[in-house]
Amino acid sequence: MFAFVIGSCVSCARTFSFNPVRVPSVRVNGVREPVCRACVEAANPERVRRGLAPISLSPDAYEPCHESELS
């Protein structure tokens, strides 16, 4: 069995599906909130410009995960 989550991007509010274990996220009031691929790709040039490391995307961040990863 496989699983994925459908949620809203914390940055742009678009709905997207993602692997809940591997999706990039930010903490808002202590809760992990997912970030969509488009927002990560848009943020990375600014991060590099500021001397920060770009956000690295797992190849399966936006793919279903095996249910065993959820435990």
Task: Please name which of 63, 56, 67 lies closest in space to residue 24, comparing C-alpha atoms.
Answer: 56
Query: What is the average pLDDT score of the chain?
Result: 95
> 70 near 8, Cβ under 8 Å?
no
Q: Which residues pair with 4 in a beta bridge?
A: none
Quick: pLDDT tens for 13-44.
Answer: 999 999 999 999 999 999 999 999 999 999 99
pTM of the prediction? 0.88
Exposure string over 13-41, b if 16+ CB within 10 A, otherwise e: eeebebbbebbbeeeeeeeeebbbeebbe
In percent, how much of the chain has pLDDT > 70?
Answer: 100
Q: Where are the domains of the chain?
A: 2-70
pLDDT class for 70, splitting at 50, 70, 90?
A: confident
pLDDT score, position 54? 97
Cβ atoms of 4 and 64 closer than 8 Å: yes
